[in-house]
Amino acid sequence: MATEEEKKQLQFDVDLGNLMVFDPHHNFSSYDSTSRVELVKECLSKGTELIQSIADSLFSLPSTEDIDGPLLNLPPPITKLPRQKHLPVPKPPTKWEAFSQKKGIQNRKKDKVVYDEQSGTWKRRFGYDRANDEEAIPIIEAKLTDDPTEDPFAKRRDDKKKRVEKNERNQLQNLKEAAKFGALPSHIQLAATALPITGTQAAPKKFTKDELGNVAGMAATATASGGKFDRKLPGEKAPQHKGKYRKFLPVVGQGTGIGSLEKEQTEKVLNKIMSKNSHDILNVSKAVTMHNVKREKKRKYDNKRNNSITDGKLKTQKKSFKKGDNKKGKETK
C-alpha cells in the first residue's frame, strides 16, 4: 500500500514555492459521455488527492511556532513565470563619480556642526544661520585693485546665482546620461520644454486650460444666434461678460436742467476724448505754420501800405480785407 502511495506521489509535480501541484498523467474519460455531477465528483476526489500530496510535503517542512500559528520557510518557486517589469538598470556614474573613481577620492563624513569664526560659536554647516556664511558678511572691505564701478554685494549675489545655475546644468547633464541607459530614478522625469526661438529668450506663452476654455466660449458666440443653439465643446466656458454694462442715471436730477451726475458723466467722456485726441485737436506744427503765414501776410501788407500812393485804393482794400471773401465776391458780381 505504502509503496503504491509513494509511486503516486512521485507522479505529481509539486511546486511548493507556488503551492502548486500538477498531475500530468490523469486522463479523464470523454467529456460528453459522463454526467456533470459525476465529472465534478471525479475532479474533486482527484483534487483532494493532489492537495493531500502538497499538504504532506508542506507540513513536513521544518516550522517555528508563532502566536498566530506555525510558520515555515517556503522554498523558491520552481515554475518560472514572466516578470511584470524589466530588471532595474544600474545607474551610470555621474561625471563627479567617474572623476573621483579615477582619482581615488573617497567620501569622508563631515561634522554637522562647525566653528563659526565670525561669531565665535558653533553653528550648523549648512542651512539657515550656517557657519562661515559668505553671504551674511555685512561689510566688504575695499581693496586698491577693486573696480570702483562694481557693486561687490551685487557681484556676490550674481556669483552665487551663477554657481547654482552651473550645478543645475551639470545635474541635468548627468540625468540625461542616465536616461540614455533607461536608469532614471523612478521619481524623476525629464520633460521637454518648448524649444527656444533663436534671438528671443522667453519661451512662447502657454495657454492654460481655463484660458482656452474662455476663448472657445467667446468664439462660440460669433454665430447668428449668439451661440444659443450651438453644441458646446468639451471644456468650453460661457463668455464671461455677455451684454453691456449700462447704468441709468436718475431722470430727475438735482438743480435745473440736466442733473449734476449726468453733467459729470458727459464731462468725463468729453475729457477722456479730449485727452486722448488732444494731439489731433491741436496740431502744433500746423498751428505754427499758420501763425507764420499770417505774420508774413501782415508784413507784406504793411510794406505795400507804406509804398502805396493812392488813398482810395487803400481804403477799399482795407475794407475788403476786413470783411473777408464775401465783399470780394460782391465786387466781382
Partner 1 sequence: MLEIKTAKTRRGKRELEKRAPKLVESGKKTLILHGTKTSGVLNAVLTQIYQLKKESAVKYSRKNENIKPFESGGETSLEFFSLKTDCSIFVYGSHSKKRPDNLVIGRTYDHHIYDLVEVGVENFKPMESFTYDKKIAPKEGSKPLIAFIGEGFENVEELKHLKEVLLDLLRGEVVENLNLAGVDRAYVCSAVSPNRVFFTHCALRLKKSGTIVPRMELVEIGPSMDLVIRRHRLPNDGLRKEAMKISREKPKKKEKNVKKDVLQGKIGNIYVPDQKIGEMALPNKSKGVKRERREAKRKNQGDEHSKRRKEDA
Interacting residues toward partner 1 by CB under 8 A: 17-28, 30-31, 36, 39-40, 43-44, 46-48, 50-52, 54-56, 58-60, 63, 66, 68-74, 77, 79-88, 171-172, 175-176, 186-196
CB 305 within 8 Å of CB 314: yes
Name the residue nearer to partner 1 (CB basis): 186 or 225. 186
Name the residue nearer to partner 1 (CB basis): 41 or 155. 41
Name the residue nearer to partner 1 (CB basis): 84 or 278. 84
> Nearest approach, Cβ of 250 to partner 1 (angstroms)?
56
Q: How far is CA 230 from the centre of its chain?
A: 32
Name the residue nearer to partner 1 (CB basis): 142 or 191. 191
Half-sphere exposure of 292 (CA within 13 A, CB side): 6
Give the other-Cβ count within 10 Å of 53's Cβ. Answer: 19
Residues 119, 129: Cα–Cα separation, whole Å? 11
Name the residue nearer to partner 1 (CB basis): 183 or 215. 183
Q: State the residue for C-alpha cell 569622508.
A: 108
Crossing angle between the packed helical segments 36-59 and 2-11, to the nearest 10 degrees: 100
Q: For residue 281, what is its C-alpha cell?
A: 485737436
- The SS3 of residue 32 is coil
> Nearest approach, Cβ of 149 to partner 1 (angstroms)?
34
> Nearest approach, Cβ of 204 to partner 1 (angstroms)?
12
Using the Cα atoms of residue 122, residue 127, residue 133 and residue 137 in order, give the sign of their dihedral: negative
> Nearest approach, Cβ of 36 to partner 1 (angstroms)?
7
> Nearest approach, Cβ of 30 to partner 1 (angstroms)?
7
